[in-house]
Structure 1
Amino acid sequence: MTGSIRRSRWRAAVTGGIVLLVAAVGVVAAVGFGGGAGGDRARAGSAPPATATVTRQTLADSETADGELGYGTTRTATSKLSGTVTALAATGSTVRRGKALYLIDNEEVVLLYGGLPAYRALAPGVEGADVAQFERNLAALGYTGFTVDDEYTGSTADAVRDWQEDLGLAETGRVEPGRVVYADREVRVESHQVDVGDLTQPGQAVLTYTGTSRVVTVELDVDDQRLAKQDAKVTVRLPDGKEVAGTISTVETIVQAGAAGADGQSGDPETKIQVTVAVTDPKALTGFDQASAYVTFTVAERRDVLTVPVAALLALAEGGYGVQVAEGDASRVVAVITGLFADGRVEVTGTAITEGMTVVVPT
């Protein structure tokens, strides 16, 4: 993924427009508009060098970035146990709550749902958010006789023994951190990092997994973080040219290793903004495996507004901006208030500006 941005370059348009504004002050004086911007008229000595029409449209500040079709962020299941790998969930398979991701010494390490990793043993007397997370899973798997809260009680231990019996584990009533792996939801096994029969120890990667839904992933520079607003609407252009609507589902900050230099040493790490986009119609992604896509982010949008080319703006001597309206062989300058700049045009409002007017675009 390149993460490169193909911008609409509205900032450049604005800068260019401002340069023209400074030059245009002389234009205003040259045509004799030294009075108020409200409506003094002067005869034009020659035809305007260029003109444009005041149009009513939707103006959007948008930027397009390279994306990648896939299953989203790849995560690693790391063993917290020592032993021999005796089974692995098949690559490409879906593993749901309570099912085994892999087996160590022929004992299951199971998937549960939650955002907090397993970091300590759970036993009677332990309290905390990790207890509540585990108990929610235990209840969802159909075990009863305990209260789902943040306290691990004797009743919780009894339910755990039932769970351990069903898994074929020693019925201790304790939950060791290496016995479960937490993920937000069901997962798709992407790859194996070990083979069946390998010895493993705490800290060793066993397998990688992703979500199960097809999504589009985009990596943005930190400077483009303004584009990455969770739940914001985007447009995705697929490899076949079809465009589908999407929504930003997650935004994460990631750190990538820097590219290796001529000496073989890694460069400084890079911080990126990783954006995951869920499309409105998942069926539209059918038939595409790992492939590129383009995602258009709309930062701001103004609907049904009057617009003119940025280059048509004039800096008025009394302050503010105006445009030179051409009316036959005559012209006049009218004051406008500027709004959104995008795609080389600018939103304008004012009592004397209307749709369909012809404005001069200085060259």
Structure 2
Amino acid sequence: MNERGVDPSAPAGEGTVPRRGRQRRARHAAVVLVVMAAGSALAFALLDSGGRGEDGGQAGELPPRTAPVTRGTLNDAQREDGELGYGSTAGAVSRVAGTLTAVPSAGAEVTRGRALFTVDDRPVTLMYGSMPAYRALKAGTEGKDVEQLEKNLDALGYGGFTVDREYTTGTAAAVGQWQEDLGLTETGVVDLGRVVFADGAVRVDGVSAAKGEQTAPGQEVLTYTGTTKVVSVDLDPGDQRLAEEDAAVGVVLPDGREVGGVIDKVSTVIEEGDGPDEQAQTKIRLVVKLKGAKAVKAAAAFDLGAVGVDFTAGEREGVLTVPVAALLTLAEGGFGVEVVEGSTSRYVPVTTGLFADGRVEITGDGITEGLKVGMPK
């Protein structure tokens, strides 16, 4: 099997005949179905049931029509629906009990060192990092979360420590200075619940609890997204070939303008069915970043909206191609075409390559540009 999921192994020569012959006076049918799945194209040729004896590869009566072998570029391109927005949402929960004394409004942006919300008039501060806060940090603590905290303190202008995985007395002194600037008690200890880590600056997507409400550990206060416009696309598993990180794509904005993008993240998600009788569906979720200042500026004109995303999974330049319908299955396996020369025709084995736009790349002995191949009605 080749990389397209098709068996290309067909003996060279012209003595090959289709698995089942065709008797056009009785009935002629040739149907080719192309199935695109997991990055490959599977082609199946179904021939009519009319039979005839093997005749050394000679096809007999000529096909009803022909098509030329052409040379050109094949693009495995596909357009999918996408959603312009700010990407996936995450929830910010309170890890302390008390009264919410300040909550941002939906659409507000919060950056490093700023309060995401306040409990009992004490800020819960946003800092950047991929590891969520899960414990108190104090002198003697070691780990990745310590290094993450120290990177933020350094970025905020606090010093006197080395950015590493160890919480030293120098770190504690910097934390004390940070606490003083926030109006907190200078303990040198970062209590659990005083910091929320996110990948970067956040945009408040929605508020789950209002100012003045009581909050408890584990209660969601708000949801947030990133602050950069991105495009989200959900693909079926059969389109896995399109989901390659860093691959370039085209984005068609709601007003029809086309801008560039690049696939930034690829993940697999399970979507629950809408009703009790509907099964969950597996989707491949892509996050596409807009490419270049021009694209970002163009997208800024829209808050949310449906967009088109153009993928190119494969490209073959200067290859010989025929319509997919010209392919025939051969008795010993593989594919062939019926070459028509004047008043005669013969079957020639071919190796298939890329399938795209109703055509297929082929190679084989004697297959050249301009050659005529048989086609069904």
Q: TM-score band, normalised by the shorter chain?
A: 0.7 to 0.9
Match of residue 283 from structure 2: 272
Counterpart-to-counterpart distance in 2, 1:19 and 1:337 = 14
Residues 69-112 of structure 1 show CA distances to partners (whole Å, capped at 9, x for unaligned) of: 11101111111111111112332222111111111111111111
Counterpart-to-counterpart distance in 2, 1:137 and 1:24 = 74
**Cα distance, 1:103–1:220 mapped onto 2, change above 3 Å:** same
Which secondary structure state, in structure 1, belongs to the residue aligned with residue 212 of structure 2? coil
Counterpart-to-counterpart distance in 1, 2:125 and 2:194 = 7
Counterpart-to-counterpart distance in 1, 2:146 and 2:233 = 35
Name the aligned partner's letter for residue 276 of structure 1.
V
Which secondary structure state, in structure 1, belongs to the residue aligned with residue 153 of structure 2? helix
Match of residue 318 from structure 2: 304
Match of residue 44 from structure 2: 18
The yes-or-no answer on 1:345 pairing with 2:359 is yes
Which secondary structure state, in structure 2, belongs to the residue aligned with residue 19 of structure 1? strand
**Cα distance, 1:289–1:361 mapped onto 2, change above 3 Å:** same
Q: Of the candidates 207, 230, 244, which is equivalent to residue 245 of structure 2?
A: 230
The yes-or-no answer on 1:285 pairing with 2:299 is yes
Name the aligned partner's letter for residue 44 of structure 2.
I
**Cα distance, 1:50–1:286 mapped onto 2, change above 3 Å:** farther
Unaligned 5+ runs, structure 2: 1-32
Which secondary structure state, in structure 1, belongs to the residue aligned with residue 45 of structure 2? helix
Name the aligned partner's letter for residue 301 of structure 1.
E
Counterpart-to-counterpart distance in 1, 2:272 and 2:329 = 48
**Cα distance, 1:323–1:261 mapped onto 2, change above 3 Å:** closer
Offset at residue 316 of structure 1 (A):
4.2
The yes-or-no answer on 1:91 pairing with 2:115 is no
Match of residue 6 from structure 1: none
Q: Of the candidates 323, 335, 339, which is equivalent to residue 325 of structure 1?
A: 339
Match of residue 127 from structure 2: 112
Which secondary structure state, in structure 2, belongs to the residue aligned with residue 11 of structure 1? strand
- Identity, % of aligned positions: 54
Residues 103-127 of structure 1 show CA distances to partners (whole Å, capped at 9, x for unaligned) of: 1111111111110000000001111
TM-score by length of 2: 0.80
Name the aligned partner's letter for residue 351 of structure 2.
I
| Aligned residue pair count | 339
Name the aligned partner's letter for residue 357 of structure 1.
L
Match of residue 329 from structure 2: 315
**Cα distance, 1:128–1:24 mapped onto 2, change above 3 Å:** farther
Name the aligned partner's letter for residue 11 of structure 1.
V
Match of residue 7 from structure 2: none
The yes-or-no answer on 1:101 pairing with 2:123 is no
Match of residue 11 from structure 2: none
Offset at residue 261 of structure 1 (A):
3.6
Are the equivalent residues in 1 in contact too, given 2:262–2:290 (CA < 8 A)?
yes
**Cα distance, 1:312–1:304 mapped onto 2, change above 3 Å:** same
Match of residue 76 from structure 2: 61
Are the equivalent residues in 2 in contact too, given 1:10–1:61 (CA < 8 A)?
no
**Cα distance, 1:256–1:359 mapped onto 2, change above 3 Å:** closer
The yes-or-no answer on 1:210 pairing with 2:225 is yes
Match of residue 3 from structure 1: none
TM-score by length of 1: 0.83
Stretch deviating more after TM superposition (325-334 or 170-179): 325-334
Counterpart-to-counterpart distance in 2, 1:243 and 1:25 = 51
Match of residue 171 from structure 1: 186
**Cα distance, 1:325–1:65 mapped onto 2, change above 3 Å:** same
Counterpart-to-counterpart distance in 1, 2:197 and 2:243 = 26
Which secondary structure state, in structure 2, belongs to the residue aligned with residue 196 of structure 1? coil
Match of residue 261 from structure 2: 246
**Cα distance, 1:176–1:24 mapped onto 2, change above 3 Å:** farther
Offset at residue 256 of structure 1 (A):
4.1
Are the equivalent residues in 1 in contact too, given 2:230–2:288 (CA < 8 A)?
yes
Counterpart-to-counterpart distance in 2, 1:170 and 1:106 = 13
Are the equivalent residues in 2 in contact too, given 1:57–1:303 (CA < 8 A)?
yes
Counterpart-to-counterpart distance in 2, 1:134 and 1:26 = 78
Match of residue 14 from structure 2: none
The yes-or-no answer on 1:362 pairing with 2:376 is yes
